Amino acid sequence: MRKFLIAGLVTLAAAVPALAEERCNVPQDQWRPEADLRADLEGKGWTISNIKTEDGCFEVYGKDQDGKKVEVFIDPASFEIVGSDE
């Protein structure tokens, strides 16, 4: 039983660096403009306070259409939400 636990922990430890890699794997020349993302989100009723790039994604700070504070990672090609820091 102990061997299985150790093997599981080793496997988990090996997977952690993969989680730290870029969330979005889109070549820079395929990114849509940040201004388009801002217009898309504001059109959905979001209020955007800041957009930056991190982990190969756009990271958006602001409030969603319900006024809820958001900090989300968005794929720069599809504008799909791919993660959150919340």
What are the pLDDT digits (tens) for 67-79?
999 999 999 999 9
- pLDDT for residue 12: 45
CATH code of residue 77: 3.10.450
Query: Considering the domain boundaries, does residue 11 fall inside one?
Result: no
Is the pLDDT assigned to residue 9 strictly greater than 60? no
Instruction: Give per-residue pLDDT as tens, 12-59.
Output: 444 444 443 567 999 999 999 999 999 999 999 999 999 999 989 999
Query: Considering the domain boundaries, does residue 3 fall inside one?
Result: no
Query: Considering the domain boundaries, does residue 67 fall inside one?
Result: yes
Domain housing 38: 23-84
- pLDDT for residue 55: 85
Is the pLDDT assigned to residue 65 strictly greater than 90? yes
Query: Considering the domain boundaries, does residue 54 fall inside one?
Result: yes
CA distance 76 to 57: 6
The two tokens of residue 44 are 């959905």
